[in-house]
Copies of this chain bind each other. A is one copy, B any other.
Amino acid sequence: MGRNTLGTLEQAVMMVILALGDGAYGVAIRDELSRRTRREHTLGAVYTTLDRLAAKELLESYLGEPTQKRGGRAKRYFKLTGDGRQALDHAVNTRHELEYGLDLAGKGA
C-alpha cells in the first residue's frame, strides 16, 4: 500500500495553505502557488491535489458564505489537520537532513 511521502506539489500546496491562513480556498491557493513558484498552475491541478490530500486526511475543508459579487458562490476553505501538519513537518525535517552539509543555492546571506 501507499507509502506516505509527500510529493513536491503536495508540500507546496500545504505550505501555501499555511501561508494563506484563513482565506485558503481553491483560487487563492492557485494564485499564491503560482506566485511563489513563479510559474502557472491550473485550477484542475490544484483541486486534484487538494482532494487527494483531503482523502488522506491531511487536509480538511469547510464551506464559507457566498460573496455579494457577481458569480461569488460559496468557497471551500482548506486547512491542515493534525496529521497534515505532522506529515509536512516530517517532510521538512527530512529535507533538512538531505541538505545538511551541502553548498546549495540561496544559502548566502
Answer yes or no: A1 CB below 8 A from chain B CBs: no
Give the residue of B7, B11, B19, B106 whose beta carbon is less than 8 angstroms from that of A93.
B106
Interface stretch, picked from A22-30, A54-62, A69-77, A96-104, is A96-104
Number of copies: 2
Interface size class of A (residues with CB under 8 A): 20 to 34
Q: What string of 1s and 0s marks CB contacts (under 8 Å) between A70-109 and chain B?
A: 0000000000000000001111111111111110111000
Q: How far is the CA of A41 from the CA of B101 in the complex (A)?
A: 21
11 A-B pairs, CB-CB below 8 angstroms?
Answer: A5-B8, A7-B8, A8-B91, A15-B102, A19-B100, A36-B100, A38-B94, A38-B97, A89-B106, A93-B105, A93-B106
